[in-house]
């Protein structure tokens, strides 16, 4: 039994090392006083200083944050309604429509959205990116809400209705608070996926509407500069802050 536990610990350690060691390396080299990223030369904050003076990167970061916030907000509302609909109405077509963007390959999704926007004679830019991100984020929110709905005792709503509560009052006071962890988990996932997306954004972004992944891609064609390490580190810190706040405010959200 001890040998099995040791093997399990070693296997888990190897997996976590494989997953997180590259992230640690990115953070370390963002503080390295060398442009080559080949060896440790010395500690410095200058790459962060240069990052905050890099107008192209800052503009791309601002676009990504704005797109992610709008997309996550809209996808959370629509995905919550879709998840509730999937739970209450056993329609086979509804899950297919909601979950298809999740299963569809990103490159196919990007090409299909590009053709759709061209067919509508719509100019590609920030609006097209937001619409594309909302489209593929709805399914992730719907899955989270649908899973949370299955764990809610329906007798609570029935008891409230028997006591004279209106459908809206019942939803506002009972269903919504119970759904909050699932909704928040879906919103956090939508925000992360939106700010991280490259393939779909690559197809639907117009001239002058670069996002952070697109900007980083254009920079790493030549080499991975310390500024890329710095902005990647800041993104990791932002993600950790969001996850920590979610875990503290809604302990059940990350288990939904």
Per-residue pLDDT of the chain (256 residues; tens, 9 = 90+): 566 678 888 888 999 999 889 888 888 888 888 777 767 888 888 888 888 888 888 899 899 999 999 999 999 999 999 988 888 787 777 777 888 888 888 899 999 999 999 999 998 889 999 999 999 999 999 988 988 888 877 777 777 777 777 778 887 888 888 888 889 888 988 998 899 899 999 999 988 788 988 988 888 777 677 888 888 888 888 888 877 777 776 665 555 5
Give the per-residue pLDDT at 8: 85
Q: How far apart are the C-alpha atoms of 143 and 74, rounded to whole Å? A: 15
187's CB contacts (< 8 A; 6+ apart) are 72, 73, 75, 76, 141
Domain ranges, residue 245? 46-255
Evaluate whether residue 61 is within a structural domain.
yes
User: Structurally, how many domains does the chain consist of?
Assistant: 1
Q: Are 133 and 200 in contact (CB under 8 A)?
A: yes
Evaluate whether residue 202 is within a structural domain.
yes
Q: Is the dihedral of CA 176, 177, 180, 182 positive or negative?
A: negative
- Count of residues in the chain: 256
Give the per-residue pLDDT at 70: 96
We report the CATH number of the domain holding residue 241 as 1.10.3720.10
Evaluate whether residue 34 is within a structural domain.
no
pTM summary value:
0.82
Give the per-residue pLDDT at 251: 63
Q: How far apart are the C-alpha atoms of 243 and 256, rounded to whole Å? A: 13
125's CB contacts (< 8 A; 6+ apart) are 205, 206, 208, 209
Q: How far apart are the C-alpha atoms of 137 and 39, rounded to whole Å? A: 40
Evaluate whether residue 65 is within a structural domain.
yes
Evaluate whether residue 15 is within a structural domain.
no
Evaluate whether residue 30 is within a structural domain.
no
Evaluate whether residue 145 is within a structural domain.
yes
Q: How far apart are the C-alpha atoms of 52 and 50, rounded to whole Å? A: 5
Taking the CB of residue 46, how many other CB atoms lie within 10 A of it? 11
Evaluate whether residue 22 is within a structural domain.
no
């Amino acid at each position: 039994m001890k040998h099995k536990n040791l093997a399990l610990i070693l296997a888990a350690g190897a997996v976590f090392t494989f997953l997180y060691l590259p992230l640690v390396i990115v953070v370390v080299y963002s503080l390295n006083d060398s442009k080559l990223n080949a060896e440790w030369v010395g500690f410095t904050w200058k790459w962060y200083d240069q990052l905050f003076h890099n107008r192209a990167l800052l503009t791309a970061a601002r676009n990504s944050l704005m797109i992610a916030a709008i997309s996550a907000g809209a996808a959370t509302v629509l995905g919550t309604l879709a998840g509730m609909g999937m739970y209450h109405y056993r329609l086979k077509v509804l899950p297919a429509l909601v979950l298809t963007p999740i299963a569809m390959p990103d490159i196919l999704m990007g090409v299909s959205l590009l053709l759709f926007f061209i067919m509508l004679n719509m100019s590609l830019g920030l609006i097209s990116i937001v619409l594309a991100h909302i489209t593929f984020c709805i399914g992730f929110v719907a899955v989270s809400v649908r899973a949370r709905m299955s764990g809610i005792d329906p007798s609570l709503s029935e008891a409230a209705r028997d006591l004279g509560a209106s459908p809206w009052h019942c939803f506002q006071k009972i269903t919504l608070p119970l759904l909050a962890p699932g909704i928040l988990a879906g919103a956090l996932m939508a925000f992360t996926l939106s700010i991280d997306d490259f393939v779909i954004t690559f197809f639907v972004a117009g001239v002058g509407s670069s996002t952070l992944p697109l900007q980083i891609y254009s920079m790493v064609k030549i080499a991975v500069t310390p500024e890329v390490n710095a902005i990647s580190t800041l993104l990791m810190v932002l993600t950790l802050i969001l996850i920590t706040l979610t875990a503290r405010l809604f302990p059940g959200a990350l288990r939904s």
